[in-house]
Amino acid sequence: MIGKASVDRAVRLVHTLTRAMTEIGVRIDTGNGRYGHTPRPVITLFDVRLQLRVRELTTRKPHTPTPDELAEQARYKFARIDKWDYEPNGSLRVSIANPDDRHDRRAWADGKARRVEEMVEEIVTGFLLEVDAELDRARRAEERRIQEAEHWRRQRELEQLRKEEEARVNRLVAEAERWERAARIRRYVTAVLEEHTDPVPESIERWASWAMATADRIDPIAREAKADSPAHHDTSGVDPSALSSTSSPASVVDP
């Protein structure tokens, strides 16, 4: 707020400040007024936007209720009468604030020894310090963003490695289980052949050939070796009816 008696002085001060700012490359424009205030100058350097404020200080004095206020209070139980009046006292205050809020970063005011017109160089220096601080905050924020992005990239990479390792282990376990099944089949076939000797019936031989081929198809080691060599079990000469109906040697051996 600026009192009528201080308007001309405040305008001259703003003109002096903006001229000093533009001489060092600062861009001046007008920000949006908020909280019911008139739009104030916004000073920009290196894409850092800050608000320049000039206001008049006030002196607090006890408020004397007016007849209208007393009548309203008598009419309405909850009517409130201000306790203090705030009157402009002629002292000006300059502040640098964020462009979109009411928070002052730095401020200078008339004192007993000097007026703010004599502090223009200090105000410009204060603005430059705030610009540097904002740029430093932006740099640190960007560094944090990069670090966080790298952290999550690494987390995704580790998760991918974990999934790949889990898949490898699952494949290993599955191959080991198939190898054990093939080994059981071979041991079983061997036991059956040992029970049918002198000579081994032809039906048992056909069944044993099919069973061993089945074990080879299940066995991941034999399957890999077969892929490297053209030699493998050939069941093309086996009677399909015998293979499809043979679930145990008892079904191909006459009682």
pLDDT per position as a tens digit, 37-82: 566 788 898 889 898 889 999 999 999 989 988 888 888 878 888 9
Query: For residue 242, what pLDDT is reported?
Result: 46
Dump pLDDT digits (tens) for 134-174. Answer: 999 999 999 999 999 999 999 999 999 999 999 999 999 99
The answer to whether the beta carbons of residues 84 and 62 sit under 8 Å apart is yes
**Using an 8 Å Cβ cutoff, are 99 and 27 in contact?**
no
pLDDT digits (tens, 9 = 90+) for 93-144: 999 988 877 788 999 999 999 999 999 999 999 999 999 999 999 999 999 9
Six token digits for residue 81: 């009468």
78-96 confidence digits (pLDDT tens): 888 899 989 999 999 999 9
How is the beta sheet containing 27-30 ordered, strand by strand?
A: 27-30, 41-45, 48-62, 84-97, 104-109
CA torsion sign for 100, 10, 27, 114 is negative
Q: Mean of the per-residue pLDDT values for the chain?
A: 85
